[in-house]
Every structure is written in structure tokens, then in C-alpha cells.
């Protein structure tokens, strides 16, 4: 066995998966063989969930049944909603509130005692979690605003229903389509930190609630799920300054600041998801007549590209445009990462189930660097 240290497990193969593939050299992302651009433009998030969970794109009848089953699970028990209100009143962070609420959902799980090896039951539990996360997040945000939750509408899509529960108003076609595409773009992305966390937990044969709760915890970290919020906060800082975007970035770089939304552990060229969200930001800007965020982001991207960042393999990632898209949809900045979780839960569940089909407990080693012959001294003699 090699004793070579691989910090962060970089480049280490730990499993096989046919769920998603990232080619960072050419900027390509596929889910089960399908190019992300084709899925984002041609399939709904529900279709993508079906693909990830069942291995193929659904027929019309399969999609109708799947969508109806998912919509039927959206309601959240009063006990969970009361906890969500309590957390909102206490000023809890949205990701922490989501982590607590998802963990609490297991108390109301009708198949709580199902054998962990029953992967069909795990998928049904995963469907309930996926359906309820939008309800939890919308209720949390409305509670922060002193408003009652809006009951889910089973006639609306997964994406449109969330926007409806958040605002109390059914979204227009452009907004619903854009948000649906955003969910698809974030649904899976290989063995990222949160997905790997969920898999590690799943490898112990813990239930899927534990895996998803762990995934939320991993995603909450600023090095993983918080970059889109960082981008939006930078854009707001630019907007409140007396500088144009390019001058602001010049000064920020001279001060040693890193510009969020640029660079990725895998992609060496522009993230394909960023291209799609840039287009949708244009659509939203044209629809609203407000092009401010579009103007800022494109100006910053053009400037940094001219500065040679692309030549160094530092290119815009999905976060560079997703924050502006979410802001255009009226979503609060600190809800961006929870929305990431709302999408990525589909990938977490798919990976946990796939790994458990041929399970092996994940148990890496660490190189010990401490003393080996410390002499024990009784407490009264220390």
C-alpha cells in the first residue's frame, strides 16, 4: 500500500460511478451520458431527478407519475414548521436551519424502520426529503419576514412551486424556466465535498436522512457552497461604491483580494453551467428592463479574461452568474446556498443509493506524526 500523502484526497479514486462526469480541460459536464446543456435546455428538473435516480430519462407516463408522487410529498408536518419558525425568530442562519429541519423530518418518516439495505425504501425516503426541502426553505424565509407559510401547489413544477411558496405569487414563465434550469445545473457534480460526505455516511449504512444532513453541513462551508453568495456580495459592494466594475476589480486585486466566482478545482476553462446561466441572466434582464448585474458581471469577466486569467486556467465558474440570477428572481442572498442544497440533494441521494448497491465502509488512513513513547504520569503527580 502506498504511503504517499494526498492532501484533500486530490486525484484519489475511491469509487466508480456512472452518474456524472466532469471534463475540466474542455468544460464539459454530463449526467449519465447526457450533456448538461441538452438537459438544462430540454428537460425539467423532475426529468433530471428521474434520470439520476432511475438511470434513464422517463417516458411521458413515467414522468407524470413521478412528478405526481413528488408533488404529493411536499407538505411538511406542523412540528417541523414550528421548529422552522422558532429558528427564524432566533435569527438562525438558513443553512443551519435547513440542516436541523431535514434531520427532524426523520421523526415523521413513515418508513423509519425500513431495512437500510432496502434501496427502494431509501429512494422513497429521498423523494420525501427532496419534495419537502423547498417547503422548509420557503417557510423559513417567510417566517423571517413575519409572514405565514404558503401551502404548496401540486399543479406547479418543483421550481415554480418554490418561487410561489416563497413570494405568494405564481412566477412568470421566464422566472420559472430559469429557476428550473438552475436546479438542473446544480443537481450533481461528481464526488464534490458534500456528495462525498453523504457517501461516507451512507457507507456506514446509516439512513438517508443522516446522509443528506451531512451533505448540508458540508455544503454550508464557504469553500464549497457559499461562493455564489460571495459573488453577489461583491457585486453589491461594487454597486455601493463610486467606481465602475472594472476599476473596482483593479483596486481589489491590487489590495490582494480574490474575486469570487473565478477558478474551480476541476475546470480549467469556463464552466459550462456559467454559460447557460449567463444566457438566462440576459433573459431575466431583458424581461425586467434592469441590466445592472448583467453589465457588472460581463464587464468583470471581460476585464479578468483580458488580464490573462484564462491562460492560467482560472475561468468563471457557475457561481459567478448564479447569484445574479437568484437576485433577479427576488431570492435573498443568504438563501443562495440553501437553494444549492435544494438542487444537489438529488445528486446526494443518487450517489448514496448507487454506492450502497455495492457497499464498502469508507475508512481511509492518516499518517501518524505524534509521539510514540510518551510516559504516562498519574493525575496526582502531573
Strands laid side by side in the 34-35 sheet:
20-23, 28-31, 34-35
Nearest alpha-carbon partner for 187 in 23, 349, 357, 14: 349
Residues known to be catalytic: 264, 319
- The span from the CA of 284 to the CA of 282, in Å, is 5
Q: What are the distances in angstroms from CA 2 to CA 6, 76, 379?
A: 10, 49, 40
- What is the spatial distance between Cα 320 and Cα 227, in angstroms, rounded to a whole number? 8
Three-state SS for 311-358 is: HHCCCECCHHHHHHHHHHCCCCHHHHHHHHHHHHHHHHHHHHHHHHHC
* Residues comprising the chain, all counted: 382
The separation between CA 122 and the C-alpha centre of its own chain, rounded to angstroms, equals 20
- Rounded to whole angstroms, how far apart are CA atoms 360 and 279? 42
Q: Residues 87, 97: contact at Cβ < 8 Å?
A: yes
Amino acid at each position: 500500500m502506498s504511503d504517499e500523502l494526498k492532501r484533500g484526497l486530490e486525484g484519489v479514486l475511491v469509487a466508480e460511478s456512472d452518474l456524472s462526469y466532469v471534463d475540466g480541460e474542455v468544460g464539459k459536464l454530463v449526467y449519465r451520458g447526457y450533456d448538461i446543456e441538452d438537459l438544462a435546455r430540454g428537460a425539467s428538473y423532475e426529468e433530471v431527478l428521474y434520470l439520476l435516480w432511475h438511470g434513464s430519462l422517463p417516458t411521458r407516463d413515467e414522468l407524470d407519475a413521478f412528478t405526481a408522487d413528488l408533488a404529493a410529498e411536499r407538505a411538511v408536518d406542523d412540528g417541523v414548521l414550528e421548529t422552522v419558525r422558532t429558528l427564524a425568530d432566533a435569527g438562525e442562519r438558513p443553512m443551519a436551519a435547513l440542516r436541523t429541519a431535514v434531520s427532524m423530518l426523520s421523526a415523521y418518516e413513515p418508513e423509519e424502520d425500513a431495512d437500510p439495505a432496502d434501496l427502494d425504501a431509501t429512494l422513497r425516503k429521498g423523494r420525501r426529503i427532496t419534495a419537502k426541502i423547498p417547503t422548509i426553505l420557503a417557510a423559513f424565509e417567510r417566517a423571517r419576514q413575519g409572514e405565514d407559510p404558503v401551502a404548496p401547489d401540486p399543479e406547479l413544477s418543483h421550481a415554480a412551486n418554490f418561487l410561489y411558496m416563497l413570494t405568494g405569487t405564481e412566477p412568470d414563465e421566464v422566472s420559472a424556466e430559469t429557476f428550473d434550469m438552475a436546479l438542473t445545473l446544480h443537481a450533481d457534480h461528481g464526488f464534490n465535498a458534500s456528495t462525498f460526505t453523504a457517501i461516507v455516511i451512507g457507507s456506514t449504512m446509516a439512513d438517508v436522512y443522516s446522509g443528506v444532513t451531512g451533505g448540508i453541513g458540508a455544503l454550508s462551508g464557504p469553500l464549497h457552497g457559499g461562493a455564489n453568495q460571495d459573488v453577489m456580495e461583491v457585486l453589491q459592494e461594487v454597486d455601493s461604491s463610486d467606481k465602475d466594475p472594472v476599476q473596482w476589480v483593479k483596486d481589489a486585486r491590487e489590495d490582494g483580494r480574490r474575486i469570487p466566482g473565478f477558478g474551480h478545482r476541476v475546470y480549467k476553462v469556463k464552466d459550462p453551467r456559467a454559460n447557460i446561466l449567463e444566457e438566462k441572466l440576459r433573459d431575466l434582464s431583458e424581461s425586467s428592463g434592469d441590466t445592472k448585474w448583467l453589465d457588472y458581471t460581463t464587464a468583470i469577466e471581460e476585464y479578468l479574461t483580458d488580464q490573462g486569467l484564462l491562460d492560467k486556467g482560472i475561468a468563471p465558474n457557475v457561481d459567478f452568474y448564479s447569484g445574479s440570477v437568484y437576485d433577479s428572481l427576488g431570492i435573498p442572498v443568504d438563501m443562495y446556498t440553501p437553494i444549492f442544497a435544494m438542487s444537489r440533494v438529488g445528486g446526494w441521494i443518487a450517489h448514496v443509493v448507487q454506492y450502497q448497491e455495492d457497499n464498502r465502509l469508507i475508512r481511509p488512513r492518516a499518517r501518524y506524526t505524534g509521539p510514540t513513547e510518551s510516559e504516562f504520569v498519574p493525575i496526582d503527580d502531573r
